[in-house]
Structure 1
Amino acid sequence: MSILGKLNPWNPSIPYEILSLNISSKLSTNSHDIKESSKDFGKIIQEILPAAVLYPSCVNDIIDLIQFSHDLSVPFHVAAKGHGHSIRGQAMAKNGVIVEMSSLNNNINNNENCGVRVSWDSGLGFYADVGGEQLWIDVLRSTLEYGLAPVSWTDYLYLTVGGTLSNAGISGQTFRYGPQISNVHEMDVITGKGELVTCSKDMNSELFFGVLGGLGQFGIITRARIVLDKAPTRVKWVRMLYDDFSKFTKDQEHLISIHHNGLDYVEGTLMMEQSSLNNWRSSFFSPSNQTKIASSLSKNKIMYCLEIVKYYDDQNANTIDEELKKLVKGLKYLGGFMFKKDVSFVEFLNRVRSGELELQSKGKWDVPHPWLNLFVPKSSIMHFHAAVFVDIILRQNKTTGPILVYPTSRKRV
């Protein structure tokens, strides 16, 4: 890592006085560091290079940087980068400084850094105080040591807590628990003035609700207090196929309306004749099932996969099959096109990881991954299906990646 001494002559956007700060030895202008920190998952926005990269060892390092910038007559841009999973360069900082949040994880024994700490409170129940730099997979592993786990997830766990809370954190559990931002008791946030502020819905609430889903524009999350619940040990994982979108969406809506002893995860996927049946998100269908599905797809051209999960453990292992049977009774999926798996809780939550590793081994993970999330109201979903799924994606053969359909309720968002 190089010292910042050569920064000022070629990039006057950051004053030479920054060298007098304690963080100067943690700032890098190395071309490799700058290039790597300027990449994101989407790879749509490129060549937005910072002047330097900060590798903080504690929260105070970030505070010092932001205070220094704020006190200037013309502040420079500071952006926090977690796992770099943004899609439009949100974690880039042209001529500014990128803060590599993962660096905090290398100094977790520092008392200023949170890591993952599980606690209990008579009012809150179990919760975890989690550093904003922590990956959700590490949060899962740490909380499982206590038989606990967060209740709301994203499909991919190798993302930082601060990163998903700055967006929303949506997956198939959203209909039941809300997105990840709905399962946070409080946070520590570094504001644009360089102030470390603790906030919750009752304390500094404007900052709290601004930061949650605020795309990193209202502050940097350094700690989040996450809701925990008893963790299951296994899951019943089922996929059912449809050739009628109306039946598919109605069954989704029915399933998320079951509040007592209902499902824990409901999601949906478009399946196209030209797309891979077992994509990078998970390898689910056996070779014989793939042949059967491909034959149906050649006739229908487009089908719809309803994916559901029911958690269980030793206490209800003997009744879980009957519970699941009742939940799917009356659904309008195609006869003979229900497929089941029984896997561990961790295996299900971390299902995308194996696909990622396979793509990495083939050099296909480090390519552009544009992504678009849309909330479509129930009143427009059939029109959206006809105009987008059929007229654009199917007829123009536009699909090259997964197309997901999450059912949810306004009450949970």
Structure 2
Amino acid sequence: MKILKRILLLLAVLLTLTVIYNYPKLNMLSGYSAKNTASSVFLAERSLELTDTIDNNFSPVNLASDKVDKENEVAISSAFGLLTRKAIYREGLGAVLMLDESDATAPYLIPKRIKPDNNTPFPYGNAPQKDTVFTNVDYNRLEKALNYLFEQENKTRAGIVIYKNQIIAERYADGFDENSKLLGWSMTKSITGTIFGILQSQRKLNVQDKAPIDSWQNDSRKNITIHNLLQMNSGLAWDENYEEISDATRMLFLERNMAKEQEKKQLVGKPNQTWNYSSGTSNLLSGILRSQFKTHQEYLDFWYTNLIDKIGMNSMTVEADLAGNYIGSSYAWATARDWAKFGLLYLHRGNWNGTQVFDESWTDYIVEPTPTSDGWYGAHFWLNTSGRYPDVSRKMFFASGYQGQNVFILPDEELVIVRMGLTKNANINEFLKGVTEAIK
């Protein structure tokens, strides 16, 4: 009997030590699952079953068990019953992980939205487009390109090809359609960057100015400009790793004010000489944007009235952290068609149906390659300058997000191509090559 008690005591100690050692990973696992479940069920209006089957069905997130409280709009995820995280949905601000039970009842402001235009045909409204058949488009070849994209192992959920403002190909995976809201992940960074373009065009700021961060003014970080931040070229330390406990995962799953995390980091390089991709930088930029407005309500409204709703991306929601900052690095949801509208805005160099949303020069600015990025990055947009996609125009630029979210803009070909997926394993070069070769 004594031996059994000792064995049980030893097992209990080992279990406790295991939990303590793996606590941060369990926190990340259950945090990801709770946040994604709340957004998927309450914002994207998908079922819990579909969410667990598709969105959360990858290792190690699929080890968490999820449930939802529909009445209170809360998602609850448990990692082996050892650690539980909750995420709450807030109308207009999306879902957010709770850090304290009082977060469930804390007051918050919501952005004012513009009424959707459901009478004007796509892309300038949400009514059905006026179909056009282009004699120079090989539609059979176009379908073959989509067939490849939607092969089972490529895990594509939405694909759209727009040529001369016209959808010429569109397809969705089972369970999704043109009304399905899809998470853009880091494509949100391009939304954040565009807000700076709008403010600069309105002469309300200059991106070449020093970043207005008080805590940097007594050390060498005071020389970092907004431009450096937009190009991810500040020289600040940051660990962008989603497979381990990192700066990025701690920020997204453990912090109340995500705009502050990059601010705390010290220089490990020199501004304009040390490119380092950082979600913390994008959230720092969101915090800088917030400081440009007299009130928090103005900050919340501006993103929608001056960009998102202005070009009819009415399905989009940019989620906010517990401190009220838009999570400009990662959390914008929209239909594939609305993501395509964002691409069209850049294809037309900021002009939306006759209205200049931002100066044409902003498009030139965001495609200027960042020093030390090997021609791969501009200002919160990715580039093909170095030919990473060898069979596609080097003038192509694009928004890109985790698990294969992309809005590709090809100016010379008058194309916008959207792919929303759950893996980056697909040969996107082959897909893009097939699309471009279908247009003679």
In the superposition, the TM-score normalised over structure 2's length comes to: 0.23
Name the one with the larger strand percent.
1
State the structure with bigger RCO (CA 8 A, min sep 6), 1 or 2.
Answer: 2
